[in-house]
């Protein structure tokens, strides 16, 4: 995949068996913790925990290292930006450390998003979100249209990755596969226009298929027989919320 870590991968480990809403709660708590807690140890600890989570989920070390390898160039840019743009913020070692910590923090967010999408079935996640929004129907919110938009968003993520990969292979076959970060960036710029055109074409095909099937948002899919939160899901979510609360209290 040209964009690693944004596609669901079949599995049957502990993380896969958690309810989508429980995983979403933990996902949001971890994002909030990475952005809120400025202690330098937080990104490092999160990096180790995410690595262990990738292995525990059965995704393998290669998927984790693939994200790390593609992020390396951007990490160097972040460190250089801290050195050049923050000259009045401290000595060179302090700016280097600050840039490195910030790069690890952003890397953790990318890896966390990849882990969440890899172990969460987009259909189950959409069903769980629709069920959570069911009370909004009383307030006049059209949950049928929301369910359709959510399904399209979660389905388009892997399609975008496939589109980028297809365009990159076609570009490389015509112009050669550039080596080095500078050549890769230069070869990626012409792909942006083709990517937009491809996404628009796919969206138009989707619109025509919905119209041909006379899709009606008032008869959106029901989720009464879907997954339900179990005791382990509540414990899983409660631990994440409790750790976040402890961190907020320590920060005060």
61-100: per-residue pLDDT in tens? 887 887 787 788 788 888 888 888 877 777 888 888 888 9
Element (H, E) at 232: helix 231-251
3-state DSSP assignment of residue 222: coil
User: CB under 8 Å to 49, separation ≥6 — which residues?
Assistant: none
**What pLDDT is recorded for position 58?**
86
Residues 95 and 165 in one domain: no
| C-alpha closest to that of 160 among 196, 120, 118, 209 | 196
Residues 148 and 192 in one domain: yes
Q: In 81-111, which positions are buried (b, 16+ CB within 10 angstroms) versus exposed (e)?
A: ebeeeeeeeeeeeebeebbbbbbbbebbbbb
| Joined tokens for residue 224 | 């009464």
**What pLDDT is recorded for position 139?**
75
**What pLDDT is recorded for position 182?**
57
Q: Which domain holds residue 73?
A: 1-142+227-252
Q: Which residue has the tokens 């076959």?
A: 173
**What pLDDT is recorded for position 71?**
81
Domain count, the chain: 2
**What pLDDT is recorded for position 220?**
47
Structural domain includes residue 222: no
**What pLDDT is recorded for position 4?**
47
Residues 147 and 131 in one domain: no
Residues 106 and 181 in one domain: no
List the beta strands (DSSP E) in 44-115.
none
Residues 177 and 123 in one domain: no
Residues 45 and 31 in one domain: yes
| Joined tokens for residue 58 | 């059965």
**What pLDDT is recorded for position 3?**
45
Q: Is the dihedral of CA 102, 108, 113, 114 positive or negative?
A: positive
Below-50 pLDDT ranges, the chain:
1-5, 220-221, 223
Cα–Cα–Cα angle for 218, 208, 145, rounded to 5 degrees: 25
Cα–Cα–Cα angle for 138, 142, 148, rounded to 5 degrees: 140
User: CB under 8 Å to 143, separation ≥6 — which residues?
Assistant: 130, 133, 134, 136, 137, 220
Residues 154 and 195 in one domain: yes
């Amino acid at each position: 995949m040209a964009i690693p870590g944004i596609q669901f991968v079949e599995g049957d480990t502990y993380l896969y068996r958690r309810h989508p809403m429980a995983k979403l709660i933990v996902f949001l708590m971890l994002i909030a913790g990475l952005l809120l807690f400025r202690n330098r140890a937080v990104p490092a600890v999160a990096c180790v925990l995410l690595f262990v989570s990738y292995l525990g989920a059965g995704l393998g070390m290669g998927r984790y290292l693939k994200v790390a390898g593609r992020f390396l160039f951007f990490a160097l840019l972040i460190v250089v930006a801290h050195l050049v743009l923050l000259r009045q913020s401290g000595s060179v070692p302090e700016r280097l450390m600050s840039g490195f910590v910030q790069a690890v923090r952003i890397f953790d967010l990318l890896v966390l998003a990849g882990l969440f999408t890899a172990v969460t079935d987009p259909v189950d996640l959409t069903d769980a979100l629709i069920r959570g929004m069911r009370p909004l129907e009383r307030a006049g919110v059209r949950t049928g249209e929301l369910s359709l938009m959510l399904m399209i968003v979660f389905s388009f993520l892997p399609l975008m990755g496939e589109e980028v990969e297809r365009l990159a292979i076609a570009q490389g076959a015509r112009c050669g596969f550039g080596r080095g970060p500078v050549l890769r960036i230069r070869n990626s710029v012409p792909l942006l226009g083709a990517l937009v055109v491809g996404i628009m074409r796919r969206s138009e095909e989707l619109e025509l298929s919905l119209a041909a099937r006379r899709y009606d948002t008032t008869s959106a899919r029901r989720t009464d027989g879907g997954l339900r939160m179990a005791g382990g899901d509540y414990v899983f979510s409660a631990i994440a919320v409790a750790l976040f609360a402890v961190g907020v209290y320590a920060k005060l």
